[in-house]
Amino acid sequence: MKNLIFFLFLICGFAVGAFGQESTLQKVALSQTEIDKILAKVAINETHFRQALTNYNFSRSATIQTVGIGGNITGTYRRDSDMTITPEGARLEKITFFPVDTLTEVSITPQDLEDLGGVNPFAIEPDSIPKYNFTYMGKDHIDELNLWVFDVAPKVMPDPKKINDRMFQGRIWVDVDDLTIVKSKGKGVPETKNNKYPIIETYRENIDGKYWFPAFASSDDEVVFGSGQVVKFRVRIKFNAYKLGHTDVRVIGEDEAVPEASPSPTPTPKKP
Q: For the chain, what percentages of helix, strand and coil (3-state, to nearest 5) are there?
A: 15, 40, 40
Q: What are phi and psi of 78, to 5 degrees?
A: -125, 135
Question: Measured between alpha carbons, how far is residue 177 from residues 136, 147, 148 in Å?
Answer: 17, 8, 10
Q: How confident is the model over 142-164, as pLDDT tens digits?
A: 888 999 999 999 999 988 776 66
**Which range, of 11-25, 121-135, 142-156, 167-181, averages the lowest pLDDT?**
11-25
Question: Is residue 175 predicted with pLDDT exceeding 60?
Answer: yes
Helix (H, G, I), strand (E, B), or coil: what is residue 190?
coil
Q: Is the distance from CB of 73 to CB of 66 less than 8 angstroms?
A: yes
Question: Is residue 253 predicted with pLDDT exceeding 80?
Answer: no
C-alpha closest to that of 59 among 215, 204, 185: 215
- Sheet with 181-189, strands from edge to edge, namely 132-142, 145-154, 167-175, 181-189, 200-207, 211-224, 230-244, 56-67, 73-85, 91-97, 258-259
Number of continuous H segments (helices) and E segments (strands) in the chain = 3, 11
C-alpha closest to that of 17 among 190, 145, 113: 145
Question: Is residue 17 predicted with pLDDT exceeding 60?
Answer: no
Q: What is the pLDDT of residue 109?
A: 72
| DSSP 8-state secondary structure symbol assigned to residue 118 | I
User: Beta strands of the chain (E only): which ranges?
Assistant: 56-67, 73-85, 91-97, 132-142, 145-154, 167-175, 181-189, 200-207, 211-224, 230-244, 258-259
Q: How far apart are CA 55 and CA 242, in angstroms?
A: 10
Q: Is the distance from CB of 4 to CB of 222 less than 8 angstroms?
A: no
Question: Measured between alpha carbons, how far is residue 2 from residues 37, 106, 214, 224, 240 in Å?
Answer: 40, 5, 26, 11, 29
Q: Identify which of 16-20, 37-41, 84-88, 251-255 has the greatest average pLDDT.
A: 37-41
* Model confidence band, residue 128 (pLDDT cutoffs 50, 70, 90): confident
Q: How far apart are CA 240 and CA 100, in angstroms?
A: 23
